[in-house]
Structure 1
Amino acid sequence: MNTDIRCGHCGRKMAEGQYITLSIKCPRCRTLNHFKATSHPPAHQGVPNRTSPDANPSDHSLDRR
Structure 2
Amino acid sequence: MQDIRCGNCSKKLGEGEYIALAMKCPRCGTLNHLRAESSEPERHRVPVIGAAHGPQTTKQPTRQK
Which residue is 1:51 aligned to?
none
Runs of 4 or more consecutive aligned structure 1 residues displaced over 3 Å after TM superposition: none
Give the TM-score taking structure 2 as reference length.
0.61
Q: Secondary structure of 1:24's match?
A: strand
Which residue is 2:25 aligned to?
26
Which residue is 2:54 aligned to?
57
Give structure 1 stretches of 5+ with no counterpart: 41-55
Matched, 1:4 2:22: no
Aligned residues: 47
User: Structure 2 counterpart of 1:11, which letter?
Assistant: S
Structure 2 CA distance, aligned partners of 1:57 and 1:39? 35
Give structure 2 stretches of 5+ with no counterpart: 40-52, 60-65
Deviation of 1:14 (Å): 0.4
- The Cα RMSD (Å) is 2.3
Identity within the alignment, %: 50
**Larger Rg belongs to:** 2
Deviation of 1:26 (Å): 0.2
Q: Secondary structure of 1:33's match?
A: strand
Deviation of 1:36 (Å): 0.4
User: Structure 2 counterpart of 1:31, which letter?
Assistant: T
